[in-house]
């Protein structure tokens, strides 16, 4: 049986944000039928992160295996007491290896150390695998609203957990 190369997490660096936008646009179009409107939303989130980045309160992790990016996630400030988990993505080639859980756990640890009291996130009801990860990490859905944009076919959800 071949030995799998480890997946390492690192902070973002120049060029990574283009990958984040590209892979969200491509994967969500292929897997969920999302439109370019979703890619534009991701680009705005990434631009806001870079424009307002505060290393003491915000973070982006890039997951790599053998020099190739295979995932990402962000923590951004929503308010003084609330962190927001954003843009979790795990490449299909590494799904099922625990990377999603690992990225979420990193976000929670970082948010606690940064002094946040709560963490929130926004997702779509059809993203069942991600929703299972969030629930396993202690998040609960606190709000659902009909989603009509970017090709989503269901409900937008807000999830939260205490830190």
Please tell me the predicted confidence (pLDDT) of residue 3. Answer: 59
Which residue is listed with tokens 């859980």?
Answer: 101
- DSSP state letters, 62-124: EEEETTEEEEEEEEEESSSSEEEEEEEEE-GGGTTSSHHHHHHHHHHHHHHHTT-SEEEEEEE
Which residues lie below 8 Å from residue 29, measured CB to CB, with a gap of 6+?
Answer: 35, 38, 39, 151
What is the SS3 assignment for 130?
A: helix
CATH code given to domain 7-162: 3.40.630.30
Taking residues 103-113, report their average pLDDT: 98
Please tell me the predicted confidence (pLDDT) of residue 1. Answer: 52
- Does position 2 have pLDDT exceeding 70, yes or no? no
Copy the structure tokens of residue 158: 């807000």
Candidates 101, 85, 90, 88; CA nearest to 65 is 90
Out of 15-19, 52-56, 71-75, 153-157, least confident range? 153-157
Mean pLDDT of the chain: 94
Please tell me the predicted confidence (pLDDT) of residue 151. Answer: 73
Tell me the per-residue pLDDT of 61-90, one tens digit each, with 9 for 90 and over: 999 999 999 999 999 999 999 999 999 999
Please tell me the predicted confidence (pLDDT) of residue 153. Answer: 72
Which residue is listed with tokens 């400030």?
Answer: 77
Out of 57-61, 127-131, 137-141, least confident range? 127-131
Tell me the per-residue pLDDT of 36-56, one tens digit each, with 9 for 90 and over: 999 999 999 999 999 999 999
Extents of the domains making up the chain: 7-162
């Amino acid at each position: 049986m071949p030995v799998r190369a480890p997946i390492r997490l690192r902070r973002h660096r120049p060029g990574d944000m283009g990958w984040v936008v590209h892979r969200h646009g491509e994967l969500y179009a292929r897997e969920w039928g999302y439109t370019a409107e979703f890619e534009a939303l991701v680009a705005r989130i990434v631009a806001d992160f870079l424009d307002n980045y505060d290393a003491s309160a915000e973070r982006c992790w890039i997951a790599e295996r053998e020099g190739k990016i295979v995932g990402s996630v962000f923590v951004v400030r929503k308010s003084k007491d609330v962190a927001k988990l954003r843009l979790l993505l795990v490449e299909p080639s590494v799904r099922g290896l625990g990377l999603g859980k690992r990225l979420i756990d990193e976000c929670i640890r970082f948010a606690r150390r940064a002094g946040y009291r709560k963490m929130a996130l926004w997702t779509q009801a059809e993203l069942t695998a991600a929703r299972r990860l969030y629930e396993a990490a202690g998040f609960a859905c606190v709000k659902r609203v009909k989603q009509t944009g970017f090709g989503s076919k269901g409900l937008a959800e807000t999830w939260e957990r205490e830190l």
